[in-house]
Amino acid sequence: MSNLQEMRTVAHQCPEYVYMGDARASLMAVMDESSNDVRCDTCVHWENNRCAIDMYNRVLTGLDQT
C-alpha cells in the first residue's frame, strides 16, 4: 500500500490527475503545492485502492529516475 506522502508526490506530478471534487476546488488544490488534498486517492481515476488508468507506477518510476 502506498503511503500518503508518496501519493501526494505522485499526484502533484501526474499529468492525468483530476481532483474528484468540483472544478474550482481542483484548480485551487493543484495551484497550492502544499495542499494535502492533492493525493492519488482524491483523483477521479483512483478505484479500489489503485490507479484505474495505471499512471501511479509510471509516475513513481519517473520520479525514481530523477
Number of domains into which the chain is organized: 1
What grid cell was written down for 66?
530523477
What is the structure's pLDDT at 29?
56
Residue percentage of the chain with pLDDT more than 70: 73
Residues sharing a CB contact under 8 Å with residue 58, sequence separation 6 or more, in sequence order:
none
Which residues span the domain enclosing 42? 4-64
What is the model's pTM? 0.74
**pLDDT (mean) for 44-62:** 95
Residues sharing a CB contact under 8 Å with residue 40, sequence separation 6 or more, in sequence order:
2, 7, 10, 11, 14, 17, 46, 51, 56
Residue 17 pLDDT > 60, yes or no? Answer: yes
Using 50, 70 and 90 to split pLDDT, how confident is the model at 15? Answer: very high
Q: How far is 25 from 37, CA to CA, in rounded Å?
A: 9
What is the structure's pLDDT at 28?
60
What is the structure's pLDDT at 46?
95
